[in-house]
Structure formats: C-alpha cells, structure tokens
Amino acid sequence: MNYPFLPSEWTLPVTQSIYAGIVLLLISPVLRYLVKKCCNSSDRKKLNATQLIAIISIIVLIIEIVVFTTMFEEVTLIHLITIFLSALIPIIILYGKYTSSNIILLKLASAGIDDAIEEPTIEDYKHLLCNAVSNFSMLGVGADKITRDFDIFKEAMNRCASNDKPVKFLLVAPDVDWVNHGAIRRGLGDNHFSKILISSLKKIAALKNENGMPIEVRFYRSKPLFRMIFINDEECWFGYYSESVVNSGENEFENKSHTNIVIRRPKNKPPDRELYGAIEAYFNSLWEKSTDEIWDFKKYLS
C-alpha cells in the first residue's frame, strides 16, 4: 500500500500505526460497556475505571506497535519516530480527558461534593445502609427504599441509634392531601402512596416498639422538595423530588430515585462555611419546626 505525498519508506510504519489505532478503537467500546455495567451509578467509580481504560489502551497500543515492528528485520529511524508519535498522541488525548475530569472533580470536592449517584436504586440504598455506623438522619417523603430490605435496615439502625444521638426521620404525614393527589395524577389508586408510607412506618415502629431502639419520627405537611440522608456525621446523600408524570398508571420511582449528589463534611472548615454544614443546619431547622408533629408510633398503623 502506497500513500500519496509520502516517501515509500514511510509506508510500513504508517500502516502499522493505522492497524494499531483500529484495534484500539475496537476495544475501547467494549471496555466502556464493562465500565457502565460494573460501576453501578457512581460517577467517581466511572472516572477511576475510565483512567484504567486509558492505561490499558495505551499499553495495548504500544504492544501492538512493538509486535508490528519486530516482525521486520530492519527498523529505520522513520519506524521509531512513527512508533513514538503513535503512542504519544493517544497518551496526550487520554491524559487531557483525565486532567479535565480530575480538575472538575477537585473543584467539586473543594465545595464539598464528593460524588454523584445517577438514579440510585435499591441496591445503592442498601450499600449506603451498610456503610452507616453512626448519626443517621433522614428527610424524605417516606422510608420505603431504605426499609425495603428489613434485615439490612435493622442492622444499620442497630449500629447508628444511641440514646445520645437517636436516629431521626422527618417524613411526609401519610394523610396529607398531596400524597393522594400524587397517586391520582399518576393514574394509581388514591391511597397507593399512603399505603407505601404506612408500610415503611410499620417497619420503623417494629424497631422502636419491639427492640426499643432510640428512634424519633416527625412529620411535615408541605410538598417535598429535597431528600437528605445523613450518615456517620460526615456524609449526606442529597436528592430532589419532582411531580412530573412519565407514564400514566406507573410509579417510575418505585425502585429508583432522582440523581443524588454525595456531600462530605470537610475537616478544615467551620460548619457555616461549607455545604454539608449548611444542609445539616437546614435539616435541623425543619426538625425543630416539626415539634407539633412528633409521632407516637401508633397513629396511622391501625
């Protein structure tokens, strides 16, 4: 194969580089697919896996070039230059992508944002509970997703609940009109959501009444805007709610939620000068405003 405007001695090294590049392009989609399948919904895990793909791709490319070159007895200066450029160019491209992604992550980390969980599933919430060892608090509509696996939920509450720092749940009261209206708007039964809320309340009450765990539950009656789950006095999953309907007759968020950002408490900033502290203060203010809605662990269960 001859290339226009190139000396004949360039033909072999250029062809080798093209073949190596084609192989690299073929394996990259496979590696990206594995990343998507294996890294759940964590953006940080995806970035780490992408860095691994970059390293593997570069190694494969260099090995290919070396193999192509050693197939021939004579290696000219043009061969060496082409090999060097073939390896250098993808390194620059991949390193540039890594650097730009890393800079963005560093900026987010400086603001207290550690990660983003894209549409967290029940498995993601199980993982969150398994990592919880103390200081558990939650603001949400209900607690269905974190109580779905009762054994894991019970173990987490056993670790987190203490007389000094009881577990706190600030949830929407099941008899709020908004709950029934939301179900009707989605084409579900008018008590569809209230049943789910009461079901999770029964599980919380079981831990309180049967096991004597230090758990407090309060209710609020306004339309929910945000979801907050605090664990270990250092990590907060912060999400949001929406009222839009995708498919009538379906609860599209039965087994997942809107994307959550993971916010961490920095070690070298005062609480009033960082994001975690501000969100924690917001939760505490809502908690204090709900003193007239303290649950007795009996109402709604009969």
Mean pLDDT of the 217-238 span: 95
- 197 in the same domain as 146: yes
Strands 215-220 and 137-140: unpaired
Q: What percent of the chain has pLDDT over 70?
A: 63
Going by C-alpha positions, the residue among 138, 132, 166, 114 that lies closest to residue 280 is: 138
Q: List C-alpha distances in Å: 177 to 8, 141, 180, 190.
A: 80, 13, 5, 10
Tell me what pLDDT residue 162 has. Answer: 94
- 33 in the same domain as 166: no
120: containing domain: 114-293
- 143 in the same domain as 215: yes
Considering the domain boundaries, does residue 197 fall inside one?
yes
- 210 in the same domain as 83: no
Q: List C-alpha distances in Å: 143 to 24, 31, 40, 169, 217.
A: 46, 37, 22, 8, 11
Considering the domain boundaries, does residue 288 fall inside one?
yes
Considering the domain boundaries, does residue 301 fall inside one?
no
Considering the domain boundaries, does residue 98 fall inside one?
yes
CATH number, position 237: 3.30.870
Place of tokens 């990259």: 28
pLDDT tens string 171-212 = 999 999 888 887 887 778 778 889 999 999 999 999 999 889
pLDDT tens string 270-300 = 878 889 999 999 999 999 999 999 999 999 9
Average pLDDT, the chain: 80
Strands 137-140 and 167-172: parallel
- 253 in the same domain as 195: yes
Considering the domain boundaries, does residue 262 fall inside one?
yes
- Number of domains composing the chain: 2
Considering the domain boundaries, does residue 298 fall inside one?
no
Tell me what pLDDT residue 112 has. Answer: 84
- 289 in the same domain as 269: yes
Sheet of 260-264, strands arranged across: 113-117, 260-264, 235-240, 226-231, 137-140, 167-172, 215-220
Going by C-alpha positions, the residue among 172, 165, 156, 145 that lies closest to residue 258 is: 145
- 62 in the same domain as 176: no
Which of 59, 94, 110 finishes a domain?
110
Considering the domain boundaries, does residue 278 fall inside one?
yes
Q: What type of residue sits at position 128?
A: L
- Evaluated on CA atoms 13, 16, 21, 22, the torsion sign reads positive
- 159 in the same domain as 133: yes
- 275 in the same domain as 126: yes
- 125 in the same domain as 70: no
- 176 in the same domain as 42: no
- 217 in the same domain as 122: yes
Considering the domain boundaries, does residue 138 fall inside one?
yes
Classify burial at 294, counting beta carbons within 10 Å of its beta carbon; exposed 0-12, middle 13-18, buried 19 or more: exposed
Nearby residues of 246 by Cβ (< 8 Å), 6 or more positions away? 252
pTM as predicted: 0.71
CB atoms within 10 A of CB 159: 16
Which of 110, 139, 155 finishes a domain?
110
Which of 46, 76, 110 finishes a domain?
110
